[in-house]
Amino acid sequence: MNIAIIMLAGISCLPYYYKYEKRRPQTRESVVLAVMTTLTVISRTMFAPLPGFKPVTAMVILCGMAFGKESGFLCGSLSAFLSNFAFGQGPWTSFQMIAWGAIGWTAGVFNRRGWLECHKTGLTVCGLIAGIFFSMLMDVWTVLAAGEGFQWLRYVAVLATSVPVTIEYCISNVIFLWILTPILMKKLNRVKYKYGFYKIESLESDQ
C-alpha cells in the first residue's frame, strides 16, 4: 500500500512533463526555466542550516507568477528532485515534487492577470496557504513512513505536532515573497516580454 502510494505520487508528475514537451517550448524558454530552477535549488542549499526557513516556495511561486502554471510546476518539481541530491533522495522526494509543483502551478493560475504581484494581501495569503499545503502533504509521507498504512488518527496527531514547523513555513514564505517579489518580478517580466513568453501564455489561456 505504502509503495503504491509513493509510486502514484511520482507518476502523477509525468503528465505535466509530457504536456510541456508536447508543446515544444522554444530553447530560450527552456533556458529561462533552467535558470529559475537552478536559482531555486541554490536558494534551498544556502539556507540548509535553517530547515523550516527557506526561500524555495517563494521562488517557485515567483516562477509560476511570471511564466505561467506549467513553468511553475516544472520549477517546483524539478527543484525538489535536483536539490535532494544534496539533501538526500528517498520516497519523500515524490511528495516534495508534487507539493512544490502544485504550488507553482496554482501561482500561475491565480496570477494570469498580475493579481498576485500587485496585491501584498494576495502574496500574504498565497504564502500562508502554500506553507499549510506543503506541511499537510509532507505529513502524509510522515504517516506512511511510520508503517501500517495511512491512518487518519495518526495523521491528525502528526498535523498537531507539526504546527510549529508549519507556522515557520508560512512565515518564511510570506517574508521571502515580500522581499523577492518587488526585486525579481520586474526583471522576470522584462525577460518575459522581451522574449515573447506572454504570447505563449495568452494562447494557452484562450484554448
Per-residue pLDDT of the chain (207 residues; tens, 9 = 90+): 456 555 665 676 677 667 766 767 677 778 888 999 999 999 999 998 888 899 999 999 999 998 888 889 999 999 998 998 888 888 888 889 999 999 999 998 888 776 777 778 889 999 999 999 999 999 998 898 887 778 899 999 999 999 999 999 999 999 999 999 988 988 888 887 777 765 444 434 433
Q: What is the pTM assigned to this prediction?
A: 0.84
CB 139 within 8 A of CB 158: yes
Please report, to the nearest 10 degrees, the dihedral formed by the alpha carbons of residues 67, 73, 74, 80 taken in order: 130
- Other C-beta atoms closer than 10 Å to the C-beta of 28 total 13
